[in-house]
Amino acid sequence: MARRTRSAFLENRTARLKLATRKKPYTALIAPGIFLAYRRNAGPGTWSVKCNGWLKRFALADDHENANGESLMTYWQALERAKTLARAGETNTEQPISVAEAVTAYEADLETRGGRKYNATQLRLHLTDALKSKAVVLLIERELRDWRAGLVKTGLKPSSADRIGRSLKAALALAARNDKRITNASAWKNGLKKLPDSEIARNVILPDQTVTALVNGSYDEDRDFGLLMDVLAETGARESQVFRLTSVDLQDHLTAPRLMMPTSRKGKSRKIEYRPLPISTRLAKALRQQATGRATHAPLFDKVWNLATMFRPVVERFGLGSETTPYALRHSSIVRQLLKGVPTRVVAAHHDTSVAMIEKNYSRFIIGDPSDALTRATLLDLEKPSSLAHAA
């Protein structure tokens, strides 16, 4: 069994409290190149790890109250945590990434991939200072679960808290892929599992006349903005897909124009494919004008990072609630096709999603008028006498 590294002036609170209060931490060598650092304060001291030129604080010392092994540690607990954090023997000498740094890296990754930076900026607003400063490698399941529960206590709906939690999971997963020292992925996989109440559907379905009014109202605000909302309403595509459209994606057939819509980068596959979506000749004409003067592979629309904010005045003008966002145009497109009897598989392919997701989120619309007519034809007419012959 390996010997534990002792330190006469740090390993018990009595000895630590005799030390002089100072900014420079007291250190003890606990492994080759790894030091446990203790800073003596007027109040409780703090534990840090010092390795390869960097210093990272990770817990309070049990100077005045009993340790809990997480935010408040004894010398021996801090010693083991410091070794874990430093990862003795690793060739990576960079300071372990903090949660705040992981979110910043996630934001940059979203921008590179054409995703919504809003996922990162909104997440950052809901992180506590303590969580922002903590090293990703030290995160534990309970603190992540408690953080998200705190979001609900402050008034967020479970679905909103769950959505913000998914953004944090994505940021932490990216950090783990970039740094093999981060081996505690179970902390966010288990700590940020879906909340039971987050499965309640938030889908806002708008009548056709409301969709038309919103698109026309968007044109009143600005032509380019109106055209963008027009495309979202008619195709049911996601914002990220529409922002990747270029001039060559418009197949401007005189009577049957189409848009070659890029697939999203959702899920495990990052490969982009293009699927033809039919559009009206009216929209094709407007997109043709939009493409005029633009380079062949230049985007048809300038990027808008928070489209919901621009959409809000239009929504309010028609007296609709704050839950009506640009995504409501996608929900409405899906339901419109389902109610028109379009096969579920075709609806799923058109909207770049799966049959399972369509059935999960829109099943009440599948069991509607089209299916009613189909199943009604199978009902037995029990009033007619049976012609079943009985054996003699």
Domain ranges in the chain? 13-86, 99-199, 208-374
Let me know: does 168 contact 119? Beta carbons within 8 Å.
no
Let me know: does 48 contact 56? Beta carbons within 8 Å.
yes
CATH number of the 208-374 domain = 1.10.443.10
Query: CB-based contacts of 255: which residues, under 8 Å, 6+ apart?
Result: 281
- Within a 10 A sphere around the Cβ of 18, how many other Cβ atoms? 9
pLDDT means per 10 residues, the chain with 392 residues, are 74 90 91 89 90 83 89 90 68 73 91 78 91 88 93 87 93 90 89 72 84 95 95 94 92 86 70 89 94 89 86 94 90 92 93 91 69 63 61 47
pLDDT at 385: 62
pLDDT at 346: 94
- Give CA–CA dist 169/78, Å, rounded: 26
Closest by CA to 333, choosing from 234, 185, 251, 263, is: 234
Stretch (H or E) spanning 28: strand 26-31
pLDDT at 191: 92
Q: Are strands 250-251 and 72-73 parallel, antiparallel or unpaired?
A: unpaired
For 243, half-sphere exposure in the C-beta direction (CA atoms, 13 angstrom radius) is 17
pLDDT at 392: 46
pLDDT at 89: 42
- Give CA–CA dist 96/174, Å, rounded: 14
